[in-house]
Structure formats: structure tokens, C-alpha cells
Amino acid sequence: MNNKVQTTDEAVKLLNQIGVKNVSSNCQKRNGTVVLQLPFKRMFPNGKMYNVKLASYQSGYVRNISGFLFGPYQINRRTAVVGLPNTSIMIPDEGDRLVYLTNHIFKNYIRNANAVLVGCKGAVAGKLNKTTW
């Protein structure tokens, strides 16, 4: 199962199939930010469940902005330069950011789903056809 989404059309189709919602506010939309809420929640040892939200910014950053975090953290790939701190690789095109986010969702939340995700495999398995992933 080494399939990867290659195009924006594939990304939109898969995100719609699994029930990902665009929950961007009007201000975020004006600024070119897209916030996606996944159709499942993450549970922590204390028993609380939190929505999983990922954001794509016009600047090229891609971040996890879920409510269980102290603050948003970058999920952009990083490049290592000897003697310098790691720097994020910006993704300037909105379509490329959507493809990157879709691949990130499938790699980190769906393929590797475990007990911390509630309703993930059952919800997704019923919505995706067997040939997709």
C-alpha cells in the first residue's frame, strides 16, 4: 500500500470520500488559509477526545492546529543544513499543499491508526473502496 495522491483532483475526491470538512472561518478564507477537520477524534489517556484539524496557509506552511495542542505545529518537510537549524520547506501552490495534506492524513491517521484515534478505521473503511488505498 504505497499509493500516494498525485493530483489535486485525487486529493479532493479522497477527502470528500472520508468526510473531511472545511471549517475555515471567513477571516481565514480571506487570508488564504484552509482549515480541514478530520471525521474522527483523537483520544488522550485522560479520556478527553479532541477534533483533529490541519491548516494550509497561503505562506506555504502546513500545520496541525488541533485543540489538544498548546499551539500549532508545522508538518512541512524540513531540510537540514550543516551548522544551521532545520528549516521548513514551503509549499507555495495551494493544490500542492492539499495533496501534501491528503498524503499526510493517510500516512499518519488512517494507515497507522491505533487506539488514540476514535472511529477512524471503521468510519473510513466504509467510505473508501478497496482499490483506493
pLDDT digits (tens, 9 = 90+) for 35-88: 999 988 887 777 788 888 999 999 999 999 987 656 788 999 999 888 888 888
Q: Residues near 63 by Cβ (< 8 Å), separated by ≥ 6?
A: 54, 55, 57, 72, 73, 74, 75
Count of the separate structural domains present in the chain: 1
The answer to whether 92 and 79 have CB atoms below 8 angstroms apart is no
Residue 19 Rama label (left phi>0; alpha psi -120 to 50; beta): left
Other C-beta atoms closer than 10 Å to the C-beta of 105 total 22
Residue 68 lies in a domain: yes
Residue 132 lies in a domain: no
Residue 98 lies in a domain: yes
Distance, CA of 108 to chain centre:
8
**Where in the sequence is the domain holding 104, given as residue range(s)?**
8-125
Residue 20 has what pLDDT? 93
Residue 133 lies in a domain: no
Other C-beta atoms closer than 10 Å to the C-beta of 29 total 12
The dihedral of CA 111, 123, 75, 94: what is its sign?
Answer: positive
Residue 24 lies in a domain: yes
Bridge partners of residue 8, in order along the sequence: none
pTM: 0.79
Residue 36 lies in a domain: yes
Residue 130 lies in a domain: no
Whole-angstrom distance, CA of residue 53 vs CA of residue 104: 12
State pLDDT tens for residues 8-43: 999 999 999 989 999 999 999 999 999 999 988 887
Residue 69 lies in a domain: yes
Residue 123 has what pLDDT? 47
